[in-house]
Amino acid sequence: MKNKISVSLLSADMMNLEREIRRVEKSGAEMLHFDVMDGVFVNNITYGLPVLEQVRKITNMPLDVHLMITDPLEYAERFVKSGADIVSFHIESNSDTAETLRVIKESGAKACIAIKPSTKAEAVYKYLEYLDMVLVMTVEPGFGGQSFIAETVGKIGEIRKKLDTMGLATDIEVDGGINDVTSELVKSVGANVLVSGSYLFGSDDMAKSVRKIGKEVLR
């Protein structure tokens, strides 16, 4: 399975967002990761629909929108209309999971369920056949620059095994604390879409770092 890198804009220089997006485009990364936080589901507030619309206007990169909001069902369609190619929402949110998946797909985007570090792998099993991707948080959602939680590695492996037994090659995305060391751990158990913010934006040579964390490993 080819690995894909999704660069989190949370660590970009917001005063120079267009320049930062051009830097990501040139890095060879496959997607832009757009973290939406509402200050209720998580203890932080970022950016939302108007910013996504502007980003959509200036880039053709796939936009990987991660909703950390209390009621994703209420907003899913608007995020798709504003340019999301893939929408991830949390199973721990207040919205009905099946209904939210349906709305995202009907609006024309790919759909993904995200789980927090303390949520068990089994929580997503009954939805797997309807998903384009599963997002396993490897830090508590809310902030960039946190340390990877190693206890999440087992869960990534469990989900990959379950997908394999179901004959599904669904993407597993990991998000939080991904760098040149932790990327090896998550890829070895079957994650193939790696979100990275602070490591990539903090790198002198983003393209080189993208290649490094995207490199294939045996599993």
Residue ranges in contact with ligand DX5 by CB under 6 A: 8, 10-11, 33, 35, 66, 139, 141-146, 175-178, 195-199
> Judged by CB, which is closer to ligand DX5: 47, or 143?
143
- The total number of residues shown for the chain amounts to 219
Residue 108: closest CA among 140, 130, 86 = 86
Residue 35: closest CA among 16, 52, 10 = 10
Q: Residue 151, SS3?
A: helix
Q: Is 30 in the site for Zn ion (CB under 5 A)?
A: no
Residue 107: closest CA among 89, 128, 86, 92 = 86
Do 126 and 92 contact (CB within 8 A), yes or no?
no
Q: How far is the CB of 66 from ligand DX5 (least distance, A)?
A: 5
35 among known catalytic residues: yes
Most distant CA atoms of the chain, gap in Å: 47
Q: Which residues within the stretch 66-125 sit at the binding site for Zn ion (CB under 5 A)?
A: 66
175 among known catalytic residues: yes
- The tokens describing 204, both together, are 């002198």
- The tokens describing 197, both together, are 């913010």
**What, of ligand DX5, Zn ion, none, does residue 119 touch, CB below 5 to 8 Å by kind?**
none
**What, of ligand DX5, Zn ion, none, does residue 83 touch, CB below 5 to 8 Å by kind?**
none
Q: How far is the CB of 140 from ligand DX5 (least distance, A)?
A: 7
Q: How far is the CB of 121 from ligand DX5 (least distance, A)?
A: 19
Q: In the complex, which residues of this chain contact Zn ion (CB under 5 A)? A: 35, 66, 175
Active site (catalytic) residues: 35, 175
